[in-house]
Amino acid sequence: MLEFRLPDLGEGLTEAELVSWAVSVGDPVELNQTIAEVETAKAQVVLPCPFSGQVTELLAAPGDTVAVGAPLIRVRSDRGAAAPSERRSVLVGYGPNEETTSRRTRKRSNPDVTVQDSPDITQQLPAPAYPDRPAATPGARALARELGINLAFVAGSGPGGAVTVEDVRHAVPVSAPVNRVRPEDEALPNAPRPSMPTVPTMRPDGGVIRPTPSSGETRVPVTGVRKRTAAAMLASARTIPQASAFVTTDFTASMELLDHLRTTDSFMGLTLTPLALVAKATLVAMAEFPGVNSFWDEENHEIVTKHYVHLGIAVATERGLLVPNVKDAHTLSLRELCREIGWLADISRAGSATPADLRGGTFTISNVGVFGVDVGVPLVNPGEGAILCLGSIRKQPWVYRDELAVRWVTTLGLSFDHRMIDGELGARFLATVASLLEDPLTLLGRI
């Protein structure tokens, strides 16, 4: 019997949340076949099986948080079980880690003992204590309690109509049963009768939405990207003393330059947006003010200045906010930046960004202008020193060459770690970015 454990997914990540299984007990699996999808603090990734055989046991349920090195699945090898001394790890993350999933404790199998197929758990279910209690496996009951799902409203697909873990996960609503009263309550004439539960519904990402009829509330479990984002933002607000600066600038010349570049062969087939030009101006200004590309190392009491720029681009997706970063952005041309930003945004929205795409950022740009917002005050990402916010670009009255004119205008905001970036440094950096965008031809002299 072979056991596959959660591998090390990189950058010190110690756990991942199981999103879904691609196999079931009894299914045959091939070498490198996708067996599960997990979500880390960085990305959603698929796991390939490092051996072939037949699935005998799934050791975690969708929604479980699994520690690195904890067992996920057991497979009966089609080549016979190997001796323990002959087994070799085919992925990192295998090791003597005694942690299992955060929601349940499972007994570890002895590799020297022959493993027999477990009898169907649904055949061992005791008769329900109350006639209105639906038949369900223990795992299904535990998951239903966590998700707040009434099992009476879940269609069972197990033997005898028993509700399984997979049924709870999909939370398929069926016709509402008639309200029943427990036998011991029949003797109480004034005993309150149970109210009709509310059928849970599903979010597009598979999460359960639980309406509360008495208060009109909706409760959504905090999982996945939202959970990781919340932890990062809480760490940012608690550990980074942040200051902000803003500047409003004439963006007309930049808009004209973008219009011209879109007609050239160099940008044919690319979607050239103002964000790409703002990114280029930011990188050029950063070469003059490298202190903004730093972070505070609390453990070693050091200010670490990076001599490379992995430029993070905040992307709104259905799963939540992701911040993939353009590696070595300071070495790229405007055309290359345009291509990389577009590609990262596409894979992030498609859910195919890898942990490598999402880790290691040194500076971030957030474009709230696409939502029609004039400016924002973003929080600095932990591990970075500053974040630039691009507001909406719109035509406004503007004094141009001592005359009132209609110009393209935008506002830039900069949030920064005030422990290492003084107000002067932050203001001068921001003013330089604005100046480059006001007269983008000056970029040519600094590239």
Residues that are catalytic: 418
| Cβ count near 343 (within 10 Å) | 13
Contact 392, 380 (CB under 8 A): no
Helix axes 423-438, 252-261, angle to 10 degrees: 50
Contacts of 431 (CB under 8 A, 6+ apart): 247
- Sorted by sequence, the CB contacts under 8 Å of residue 41 that are 6+ apart come out as 13, 228, 231, 232
Which phi and psi angles does 176 have, rounded to 5°?
-70, 130
Report d(CA 191, CA 179) in Å as an integer.
14
Measure the CA–CA gap between 406 and 247, rounded to whole angstroms. 18
Tokens of 52: 């072939």
Q: Which residues contact 302 (CB under 8 A, 6 or more apart)?
A: none
In angstroms, rounded to a whole number, what is the distance separating the alpha carbons of residues 178 and 87? 55
Q: Which amino acid is at 84?
A: P
The residues, ordered by sequence, that sit 6+ positions from 117 with a Cβ below 8 Å of its Cβ are 56
**H runs (alpha helix) in 72-222:** 138-147, 165-170, 183-186
Q: How far apart are CA 91 and CA 111, in angstroms?
A: 19
CB 49 within 8 A of CB 30: yes
Question: Amino acid identity of 140?
Answer: A
